[in-house]
Amino acid sequence: MLVTTGDNVDSAQANELDAYLRAPDGGTIDPTDLGVGHPASPTGGPDPAYWHPQPGSADAWSAKGFPAVSGVVQRAAGPFTSPGVGVPWLSVYGNHDCLVQGRARFPEGYDDFLTGAAKPVLAPPGYTPDADALPSPMAPGTSRGSIGLG
């Protein structure tokens, strides 16, 4: 028997749940159904806050040594078939399965925000993030494999 410990979908979205269920049951999974490669998604847009593996990308992560891998987003966006796990499986409920990004309850009006005609794509005017909001996981004072938070 296979048991997963939850957090299999990120924002209680039906498209994520459908794709997740096809993985252990078997079936075709199309990552573009989840937004992979879409121009408005982190994998398809030019936002420098996200790593863009295409050679020559101007993002903060490439400058920190993340690799350039030509064509990886396009390959990741291609449909594939899961053979399924071949055994009975059970998935328990995790916080990401029911909360906004796994951290917060859905506020009033959130469904309207998600399904409305506009999408915020920029930070609010005047917002400036800290110099490096994500320190190196290997920085002094951090454990291997964890991220130091200050």
The per-residue pLDDT for 31 is 83
Q: Are strands 89-91 and 27-29 parallel, antiparallel or unpaired?
A: unpaired
C-alpha neighbours within 13 Å on the C-beta side of residue 46: 2
Q: From the CB of residue 8, how many other CB atoms can be counted at a distance below 10 Å?
A: 19
Dihedral sign computed on CA atoms, order 59, 38, 83, 93: positive
Give yes or no for a contact between 134 and 59, defined as CB atoms under 8 angstroms apart: no
Could you state, in order of their start, the residue ranges of all structural domains in the chain?
2-115
96-146 pLDDT tens trace? 666 666 566 667 777 776 677 776 667 778 877 665 555 554 455 544 443
Mean pLDDT check: name the lowest of 58-62, 69-73, 80-84, 100-104: 100-104
The per-residue pLDDT for 43 is 67
Find the mean pLDDT for residues 72-83.
88
Distance CA 122, CA 36 (A): 19
The per-residue pLDDT for 74 is 82
Q: Which class for 149: exposed (0-12), middle (13-18), buried (19 or more C-beta within 10 A)?
A: exposed
CA proximity to 133, closest of 52, 53, 50: 50
pLDDT at 63 over 70: yes
Q: Are strands 2-4 and 89-91 parallel, antiparallel or unpaired?
A: parallel
19-46 pLDDT tens trace? 888 999 999 998 877 776 666 666 667 7
The per-residue pLDDT for 142 is 46
